Structure 1
Amino acid sequence: MKPMAPMKPLDFGPAWWPKELGQPASSGRQNEIGYAFFPEQRRLAIRRGQTVTVHDSGDHQIGGVQAQGGSLRFTSQSGEVRVEELPQVG
């Protein structure tokens, strides 16, 4: 019996957020909306279809994500935050 081969790393495809943001602390998708959180840069990137927007996350330490009715809501240390409440930058 051969030893089990190591697992290959997961491949989530190419990065869709602006390169200058680097690697996100967390990223994912909910109902066809992608998100990537960059706490050091205080930025949150959102992808809807082929459109990417970048938002100032301020002092929020974004955790849980919920998609509802085409909108994303995040949980932070300050409670629930809608993406629309975060200023868009760039």
Structure 2
Amino acid sequence: MEPMKPMQPMKPMEPMKPMDSGPPWWPQALGQPATSGGQNDTRYAFFPEARRLAVQRDGKVTLYDTGEHRISGVQQQQGGTASLAFSSQQGTVRLEDLKQVD
């Protein structure tokens, strides 16, 4: 029977590379959002300097004028009519209450 060979010294692990998320789904002219998120087939991104909220549903991006609202969170109602509501410094604002822009 042959004696066991000594173990090799441990090598340090290399850091993981971040996943490539691909290009942004919102219009590039808006820059980087202050907050963004998503659930199911809906994503949102808020751009306070431009006062714009980008919402993507089923692959279609729609922009909304947020006016004086500073979006900080989202509430998504599930069910027959999936609706979005956002938290702002003025309270809750529903997506349908924001003006859609081009």
- TM value normalised by structure 1: 0.87
Secondary structure at 1:84 match in 2: helix
1:16 aligns with 2:28: no
| 3-state secondary structure, aligned to 1:8 | coil
Give the number of the structure whose alpha-carbon radius of gyration is greater: 2
The one-letter code of the counterpart of 1:71 is: S
Deviation, 1:11, is: 3.8
1:85 pairs with 2:97:
yes
In the alignment, which of 57, 62, 75 is matched to residue 87 of structure 2? 75
Question: Amino acid of the residue matched to residue 59 of structure 2?
Answer: Q
Choose which of 25, 33, 58 in structure 1 pairs with 2:34: 25
Q: Cα offset for 1:43?
A: 0.3
Deviation of 1:45 after TM superposition, in Å, equals 0.2
Whether the aligned pair in 2 keeps the contact of 1:30 and 1:66 (CA below 8 Å) is no
Which runs of 5 or more structure 1 residues have no equivalent in the other structure? none
CA contact (8 A) 1:28 1:34 kept: yes
Q: Higher RCO, 1 or 2 (CA under 8 Å, sep at least 6)? A: 1
CA RMSD of aligned residues (A): 1.5
The reply on whether 1:49 has 2:58 as its aligned counterpart is yes
Q: Number of aligned pairs?
A: 90
Query: Are 1:25 and 1:36, in contact at CA under 8 Å, matched by a contact in 2?
Result: yes
Corresponding position: 1:5 with 2:8: no
User: Take 2:88 and 2:19, find their aligned partners in 1: how far apart are those partners?
Assistant: 27
- Structure 2 gaps, min length 5: 1-9
- TM-score by length of structure 2 reads 0.78
The CA distance in 2 between the partners of 1:55 and 1:86, in whole Å, is: 6
